Amino acid sequence: MLFDFEALPKKDRYKLVVSSIVPRPIAWMVTQDAEGRTNAAPFSFFNVFSNDPVVVGIGVGARGMGGEERAEMKDTMANIRATEEFTVCMVSEDTAEAMNVTAADFPPGVDELRMAGLTTAPGTKIKVPRIAESPVALECRLWQAVPIGTHHLVLGEVLAVHIRDDCMLDPARLYVDTPKLKLVGRMHGGGWYARTTDRFELPRVTPEEVAAQRNG
């Protein structure tokens, strides 16, 4: 079926997008305000866009079923503008429930990490801490914040990455045991997620191999 986004209201466009662009990695963002108070919130409009420099992008702003504004989303953006630093933590199966707690609509000033029973570890390149329970954490410096309607596309340069020791197959060769990370992705509706334990492999093929298969 064809849906004309220029003719649909915001909440309907949102519903179609989040139900069809899946699975989405989750940026579990940790930020601090100018006084050092910590905020945490998950965002699934997220990916990596460059490897030289390494730049990640996160859509911050209207979020939730129908795209409602949420107070902690505003805190995230205000904190990033104030300090120009943030941490992106990845969400595993083991931390998914805690992540869901930090997504609750707490009033401003509530420590979401404490409410979720999480602990923090200090950053090495930035002042913003990371979630100690997360298997992967990216220390980021604001590259650019691009206004897009009611959202901001936050681009951050990754200055350092923390990967849990037991998830490294060969640190000298930078081989990560990706399945052991047990990362999850955002799916459709109000609360569906996907595991990364169901995988399949497709070896890269050359143009010659493709031609041979078509002619064979």
Please give the pLDDT value at position 73.
Answer: 53
Annotated domain spans of the chain: 5-214
Please give the pLDDT value at position 190.
Answer: 84
- For the chain, list residues with pLDDT below 70: 62-73, 216
Nearest partner of 146 among 33, 36, 49, judged by Cα: 49
Please give the pLDDT value at position 107.
Answer: 83
Please give the pLDDT value at position 93.
Answer: 98
Give 25-65 as a DSSP string.
E-EEEEEE-TT--EEEEEE-SEEEEEETTEEEEEEESS-ST
φ, ψ at 121 (rounded to 5°):
-125, 145
Distance CA 68, CA 72 (A): 12
Q: Identify the bridge partners of residue 60 per DSSP, sorted by sequence position.
A: 152
Which helix (H) or strand (E) segment is 18 a member of?
A: helix 10-20
Return all residues near 142 (Cβ < 8 A) that are at least 6 apart. 80, 84, 85, 86, 154, 155, 156, 157
Please give the pLDDT value at position 65.
Answer: 39
4 burial (CB, 10 Å; 0-12 / 13-18 / 19+) is exposed
Please give the pLDDT value at position 175.
Answer: 98
pLDDT tens-digit map of 100-112: 999 998 887 789 9
φ, ψ at 10 (rounded to 5°):
-55, -45
Give the architecture-level CATH label for domain 5-214.
Answer: Roll (2.30)
pTM passes above 0.85: yes
Query: How many other C-beta atoms can be found within 10 angstroms of the C-beta atom of residue 73?
Result: 23
Query: How many other C-beta atoms can be found within 10 angstroms of the C-beta atom of residue 65?
Result: 12
